[in-house]
Structure 1
Amino acid sequence: MFTASRALSRNISDGKELPRVPWLRDLYRYGCTPRHGQVVMVVGRSGSGKSALTMAWVQDMGLPTLYFSGDMSAFDASTRLASMVSGETVPMIEAAFDAGTQTEYVDALAESKVTFVFGAPITWQRVTDALEAYVELWDAYPEVLVIDNLMDLDGAESDYSVQMEAMSIVTELARETGATVFILHHASDKTMDAKNAPYDPPNRADVKGGLSEKPEISLSIALDPRRGTANVAVIKNRNGRSDPTARHFIEIGTEPELSRFHAL
């Protein structure tokens, strides 16, 4: 897909399990253990919290991460991440920025290993340029890449063939760099399940374009505000247990005011 100006050999940790995040305890118990060099798709309907969950996941793993965002502003992403790191609410952080007293949060963000790349559409040239710059700076590829989301890739909003090509490129990207690639994608909100059971994760058939079959792991997510949970189903798992119907899902506690999650 690309050649970085200072191309390196594949990350030697390729194939090893990613660091475990405590609040994903039940996901690991279920038999889903993402690894370096895999493609992991996180799907959900609109407003399902897939960006929040993925951002918290990569932040809590503590691995060098490039996060490509097509639909979040730099301020929104930064305040959300600062909330995760500091334990303060987003409104409190926004007020501090407005008052010019944001030093504490800026310092907290400096400890994060998540680097954002903003702009829509997300172009492959932007991805290439960001990776080359990262290699130039750190003499290594990032261990995690996030593409948020598939339909924000250039030309992929509604073109199935472009989406298929994008998944092929993402797979090659993971192979070339050894990075785990998290790619976020939408599920249909027009199905009977979406209308009758909006708090249940979408099944594999509801993933737009059927693209959840391409990655090694595909997770679907839905928020249940009644219980304060994020419900996550493993609808594809090449090396372990999965349930394409999404009827068997795990519950994760949510702290939306802090952009955090916790095990139940």
Structure 2
Amino acid sequence: MLTPGRSLALHAESGKELPRVEAFEDLYAAGVRPRHGEVVMVAGRSGTQKSGFALFWVAQMNLPTLYFSADMSAFTASSRLASMATRDTTEMVEAGMAEGGKYRQAYLDALSSSNITFSFGSPITWKQVDEEIEAYIELWDAYPQVIVFDNLMDFEGAESDYTEQMAVMQGSTELARDTGATVILLHHASDKAWEAKSSPWSPPSRDQIKGGLSEKPELSLSVALDPTSLAYHVACVKQRMGPCDPTAQRYTTMICEPEYTRFKRAEKHTIIRAPQSADDWSPTKVLLGS
């Protein structure tokens, strides 16, 4: 049992804001504050670069990270990191690793400073999670500061079972509380909703995220990729300690470079109003601070 003062003193460190990433500056300007020790959900429809977004985010922060990947192969994940670090395309990384010699060594050197540790395998099980964390502590004598689950529906039994999905959310919350790590969960939004057809490149609203699970984390981000312009839209649909918009009508935009698994700020620092109807395809751009 803790008094409010003791609780604040004990947990002030875990509630600090995560290191900022330059590409996300417009998101921060919109009031989004990811913090240590929180459960964060990143949700989007199929093919919206959720894994790339999460991988880029943790790579740029470069905090000690344990990344559970059931959605990417070991080579895909590592080649994406090498591409990110060298600005060579993933195809160039693949060719260089096959060539060997100095090309192979250059990519290995580029990854030497990374603080990301991977665990691959599908489905993800809590036994696997426990064993990997124990191994991590054995190796580094500390908990990871960030734990990524890619993705929620790849947990054992959680593909379609709502009860199991809720159990994953509960387990993730307990994990964050017990370790002080930020837990980032990737999750799917519906591809069958009317909005998925009428406004496919706008971030899905909170009610389109499968299972209603986006209401549980401290922070839920909804993402969408416009393949014609490579504009990457990010909406904050849930934030316990800051502004949010459950409708995802207001979102910030950055530029996605899929071939390099990189993201960068858009030329204008904007919050964009999504189309209000199927006929409204002229989003209103509002300069931040204006």
Q: TM-score range by the shorter chain?
A: over 0.9
In terms of mean alpha carbon deviation, does 139-148 or 225-234 score higher? 225-234
Q: How does 1:220-239 map to 2 (within 5 A)?
A: 220-239=222-241
Select which of 118, 122, 125 maps to 1:123. 125
1:56 corresponds to: 56
2:286 corresponds to: none
1:244 corresponds to: 246
Q: 2:36 and 2:140 mapped to 1: Cα distance?
A: 19
2:214 corresponds to: 212
Q: 2:239 and 2:71 mapped to 1: Cα distance?
A: 28
Deviations 1:45-76 (A, max 9, x none): 00011110010000000100000001211001
8 Å contact kept, 1:11–1:141:
no
Q: How does 1:1-264 map to 2 (within 5 A)?
A: 13-100=13-100, 101-264=103-266
Deviations 1:17-46 (A, max 9, x none): 100001000111111111100000000000
Q: Which runs of 4+ in 1 moved over 3 A?
A: 10-13
Deviation at 1:227, TM superposition (A): 2.1
Secondary structure class of the residue paired with 2:200: coil
Deviation at 1:12, TM superposition (A): 7.8
User: RMSD of aligned C-alpha atoms?
Assistant: 1.2
Deviation at 1:226, TM superposition (A): 2.1
Runs of 5+ unmatched residues, structure 2: 1-9, 267-290
Deviation at 1:123, TM superposition (A): 0.6
8 Å contact kept, 1:70–1:119:
yes
1:4 corresponds to: none
- How many positions carry a matched residue from both structures? 255
Deviation at 1:214, TM superposition (A): 0.2
Q: Percent identity?
A: 57
Q: 2:151 and 2:45 mapped to 1: Cα distance?
A: 12
8 Å contact kept, 1:11–1:179:
no
Q: 1:135 and 1:213 mapped to 2: Cα distance?
A: 31
Q: 1:233 and 1:167 mapped to 2: Cα distance?
A: 21
| TM-score, with structure 1 as normaliser | 0.95
| TM-score, with structure 2 as normaliser | 0.86
Deviations 1:111-134 (A, max 9, x none): 111111000000111111110011
Q: 1:256 and 1:158 mapped to 2: Cα distance?
A: 29
Deviations 1:139-189 (A, max 9, x none): 110000000000000110000000001100000000000000000000000
| Matched AA of 1:143 | Q
